Amino acid sequence: MCLNDNSATLSARYLSAQLSAMWQNAVECVETEHESAIIDLRSEEYDKHKYKRGLAQWHYGGRRVPKGGISKDSLFFYGSFDEPRLEFVCNHEVVLYLRLKSGHLNHAYPSRANIANFKPYPKDNIPLGGLEVAYRIPFTRRIIEGRDTAVGNGDGRRIQLLTMDLKSAQAVLFSTNDLDRTKREVLNFYLKKYLQFLQNAGHHVLFDLPDFDNDTHRQHIDYSLVSRAFNVPGLQADIEIFGTNIDTINQYLRTTWLDVVSRGFISGPSPDPLANCIYEVRSNTLPSAESHFHITFMPPSIRALCPKEVVFYINISDLDFYGSADFSSAVTHSFKDLKFAFVLDVVQDKTQDITLLQLELGSARFCEHYSTFDFTGEVTFFQQIIKFISEEYLTLLVQYKYHVIFSPQGGFTEEVEFSGISEDEGEWKTVVEASGGVSSKRSTSIVWSEIVRKFSLYSFDHLLAISEESINAMFSSMYTTFSNECLVKWRHTSGNLNAEFRPIKIRLLSNGNALVIFNIDSGSMTLKNGRGTYEFDTWSIAYETRIKMVEHKSITWVDVARERYGRSYIHQIPNVQTVKHIILDFENAVYVGKQSLMPGMWDSDPRSAVARLDSILHFMSGYLKELAYYGHNVIHSIPIFPGQEVFGLTDATFRVISKETVTVANCVQRHTSPVLVVFGMTGGRRMPDRHIPWGFGWVFPRSHGSLCISKEVFLESRLLPSLARINARTTVVPRFPEEDEEEWKVYLTTWDQHRYRKEKSCNWTLLEGNADWLEYGWEHRDEWKYEHSGTQETTDGFSVLCHTKNQLVLPTTFHSALMEIKLKGQSILRVKDIKKQRTKETKANWSATIVIKTDSTGLRVTLSEPVAPYFEHSESEEMWTSFNTDTALKQHLPKIIDVESALSDLRQLLEGSWRWGSAGLGTYTLASPVFTRTGDLIFQLRQTYGGVQSVIGSELMQYGRRSLSNISAEYKTGKSVIGNGNGYLEATTTTIRSQPMSVHQMERSTSSETGSLLSVEEEDLAFIAGGGITTGVKVVNQVRVGTALQEGFH
């Protein structure tokens, strides 16, 4: 039976059986031969069968096989082998056990192997017998697919192969201690030769499980999950992870854990409890939890399966379960000293100044046989905790950077390699396009890493994705900023309606429209028919509206709105041709009754309800028009520039794009929200006409959105040309003497001062990068030779070499706090006296790091430190005073490499408010930039309104606190309405629920009936905050959740 559909044990058995069969064949071959003390290694008979019997017997006569017969005692090595064994330790390495039954080795030969015609002496032989050696061997799995009617008529038959790299084998175990270190090294010398012999014989390739059936299922093989490597003492000794030993890594993990623990008694409770998740997790601090628990962790640890794969142990000292979110109550179930093992990969992060080792938590698989726990009779708790660790806890470790398992402190730092200049080197390899990167399985929490790999601009120059949450945050900011206008309070011109509102909420729909919900906190109206006045509260009225783009000049606004937008940021930008606004078309909004909630509407007869609805919709039509007249329906504004503009948009459009179908009917259910995407072109180019599918990572959780600028617009049109000026200033070249200058002298200048070259650009060339960075280079080499001779002149001359090589590295790995653009350069000036063969040489090296840092105000572009070249001078032993390369190079290279012009350009583009788009009257600032592997540049967006940064979700807690004061007085009858100005929740009480229940959980338990109420006893309060109802209220078997309340909590 295959454990969890893992066929690893079946595969290992199948492969071992093949090796065993081939060994038995070799034994049979040896037994059929005539036994003799003399052997001829060059004979045709021996050569014909040497590979067949290789697994059972091997002879080694040295680098040159001796001619004629030779006694076995005169061989450097002779061995007779028992059956070999295979044991898989992980998905990268297998252990091969070789057992010698008899034989000998010559201990003198390895140290004299390079001596020609070295002859062995039997007295130097050491007998071998009953000795077993274990070798760790890398392997790969390969698949050959083909078709053959004799095999079957299915879709492609698969021949699976396992290929061992026997030449890279490493000895890890010896079964005896009788051999000292030197003799073990000698034995290893011969056995490595033997393994190479086996590879030449083809024994490194084995067939894996056959797959010739007619089904579509593929076999899953994960050797790491069935590995028993740790059960063999010494088998895993001395394994290092990217050059770092395991003890060092575990010490780092212990130090990290202790640092977190110390915060509690140094700084007190953390404002973010989850920041201590490596030490402690309480379920009430999680966004969602199915049960109530408190976990106290011990330091995590790792054990290496191989240099690429480890077992990560999550060690728990105490695991307590509770009956409610009140952790002061009694513990219902308690477990201690648990160890949960996960097998995963380790990767290097080279994007920082130091190289970090990180766990690739996206590859994590729970490994039960390396875990230690006792949940006897409590399987449910085991399942809950494994689900929590697998789906949430590993994500938390990434979020708070606890997946970093080693960071050198002041030790060796590894950066992008800069090769320097060598006259013997070949040229840099230039490619047309940047590398497409590599595919790897990533944790969903490492969102940016996936974006860098998958993001596409679909031939547009500019893409700005605005999240649904961002639009709602904008309306909340508008509500605060314009507190004296109709967004907050409104009176109909007739005086027949007075209402106080909460912020507008929207839901984006797949058809390109939006569901807009107007939440009325309280109001009163005189009915259209004049029959009385009606007071109401906590009403939510929903409309479906078009989202459309209009030009600024086509909008009819009141004077105050026209003046307000005329003073706005984007209207002050020079050369703006027009401004396009993306608006909610309130004038053509359609009422959606099924998504509206009006408690009390049906308090009396149906006629009254009809009259009330007719009246409120009449009044609301006027309200929608007034919102539009005051410009409160603008979602996004885009300045449009003339066609020659290189960076600003010369054309723009938008689309609402969704991952799944979101309609008016299902938009309040849990789903991935659609995204409003603004596409733009620059330079007067035409807009591509193509289908745009849902894009991974367009909007991040709790983010205002993202911005992507194409490689052509930012990198090739702005950044690279700006930095190319550095190439011109640092490229020293020889020049001819002017008319008034002495001949036969060395004259130098720089590219930007050269008479002919200064008009030519020193453009960067894309080189081979990798998954972590893009690399560009500039290189120029001039070598001039001056030589003269004649009847009246002494033959003389010299040569001058000027060689410049600069490098630019752009990171494609995300770091939220900063992005570093690295520049390096080297210039060589070399002069050679041709007659006397004297040389002088000076090298100048420099490096610069442009830091683009994200802070509370947006991006800040700085230089890590002034960039001054440092010089190295060398010359031949014979003094040569006629020319000083050191002085000359210093004279022409700038004392400080001027990066400021490039910095100024970047500051103008990136710092402060984003000039090429705005959130209505608000602005966007940029954050967390990263280059994609194709050279496009991605940012996160931060929205600012009225000088205050909008915070997504900040209004939820505010609404929650208001709900306490809005509990209806009907509770004495056993029925109540809990309202929060954003909607209401009503239910009928029958049972007591002791654990937190989110709105989504309530939805799952709802009755199809409407109008049922939530009962709240006098001594009980329902606390609504941050997305759920908590504490022990009398709760519910029939629940109706108002749409507007859901809007406040999603």
321-349 per-position pLDDT tens digit: 998 888 888 889 899 999 999 999 999 88
- Indicate the CATH number of 240-406 among 3.15.10, 2.40.30, 1.10.3470, 1.10.8: 3.15.10
DSSP classification of residue 672: P
**Residues 192/133, Cβ–Cβ less than 8 Å:** no
**Residues 504/475, Cβ–Cβ less than 8 Å:** yes
DSSP secondary structure of 742-773: -SSS--EEEGGG-TTTTTS----EEB--BTTE
Beta bridge partners of 943: 924
The SS3 of residue 349 is: strand
**Residues 514/547, Cβ–Cβ less than 8 Å:** yes
Question: Which residues lie closer than 8 Å to 471 by C-beta, 6 or more apart?
Answer: 506, 508, 635, 676
**pLDDT, tens digit, for every residue of 68-125?**
788 888 899 999 999 999 999 999 999 999 999 999 999 888 888 777 778 888 888 9
Q: What single-letter amino acid sits at 746?
A: V
Residue 1001: is its pLDDT beyond 80?
no
Domain coordinates of the chain in residue numbers? 8-231, 240-406, 475-703, 732-898, 954-1049
Beta bridge partners of 678: 464, 654
Distance CA(26)–CA(49), nearest Å, equals 9
Q: What single-letter amino acid sits at 199?
A: Q
In 834-973, where do the E strands start and end? 838-855, 858-863, 870-875, 923-931, 937-945, 948-949
Residue 1049: is its pLDDT beyond 50?
no
In 6-45, where do the E strands start and end? 38-40
Distance CA(867)–CA(845), nearest Å, equals 10
Max Cα–Cα distance, the chain, nearest Å:
126
Across the range 231-236, mean pLDDT stands at: 85
Alpha-carbon distance values, 106 to 147, 354, 479 (Å):
51, 47, 90
Alpha-carbon Rg for the chain in angstroms? 38
The SS3 of residue 287 is: coil
Q: If pLDDT is split at 50, 70 and 90, which confidence band does 25 have? A: very high
Residue 641 phi/psi, 5-degree rounding, is -110, 165
> CA torsion, points 36, 40, 45, 48, in degrees to nearest 10?
120
Q: What single-letter amino acid sits at 259?
A: D
791, exposed or middle or buried, with CB in 10 Å at 0-12, 13-18, 19+? exposed
Q: Quick one: what percent of the chain has pLDDT higher than 70? A: 79
**pLDDT, tens digit, for every residue of 348-387?**
888 766 688 999 988 899 998 899 888 877 888 888 889 8
**pLDDT, tens digit, for every residue of 381-434?**
888 889 899 988 998 999 888 999 988 742 223 344 444 444 433 333 322 222
DSSP classification of residue 241: E
Q: What does pLDDT average to over the chain?
A: 79
Helices (H), 893-1026: 900-910, 954-965, 999-1004
Distance CA(788)–CA(784), nearest Å, equals 13
Residue 630: is its pLDDT beyond 80?
yes
The SS3 of residue 612 is: helix
Distance CA(914)–CA(923), nearest Å, equals 7
Across the range 928-941, mean pLDDT stands at: 89
In 932-1027, where do the E strands start and end? 937-945, 948-949, 977-979, 984-992, 997-998, 1023-1025
Q: If pLDDT is split at 50, 70 and 90, which confidence band does 173 have? A: confident
Query: pTM to 2 decimals?
Result: 0.53
Residue 931: is its pLDDT beyond 70?
yes
Helices (H), 555-672: 559-566, 606-629
Alpha-carbon distance values, 370 to 89, 402, 496, 765 (Å):
13, 22, 74, 51
**Residues 1022/995, Cβ–Cβ less than 8 Å:** no
In total, the chain counts a number of residues equal to: 1050
How many CA atoms does the CB half-sphere of 113 hold within 13 Å?
A: 15
**Residue 1050, pLDDT score:** 28
Distance CA(1017)–CA(184), nearest Å, equals 81
Other C-beta atoms closer than 10 Å to the C-beta of 755 total: 10
**Residues 252/346, Cβ–Cβ less than 8 Å:** no
How many CA atoms does the CB half-sphere of 329 hold within 13 Å?
A: 14
Pick the residue with more confidence: 822 or 771?
A: 822
Taking the alpha carbons at both ends of the chain, their separation in whole angstroms is 45
**Residues 943/951, Cβ–Cβ less than 8 Å:** no
**pLDDT, tens digit, for every residue of 736-782?**
777 776 666 778 888 888 888 888 889 999 998 777 889 999 999 99
Question: Which residues lie closer than 8 Å to 709 by C-beta, 6 or more apart?
Answer: 461, 462, 936, 937
Other C-beta atoms closer than 10 Å to the C-beta of 121 total: 11
Other C-beta atoms closer than 10 Å to the C-beta of 712 total: 16
Q: What single-letter amino acid sits at 1008?
A: S
DSSP secondary structure of 423-462: TT--PPPB-SS----------TT-HHHHHHHH---TT-SE
Alpha-carbon distance values, 977 to 39, 522, 600, 719, 1011 (Å):
100, 15, 11, 59, 10
**Residue 778, pLDDT score:** 94
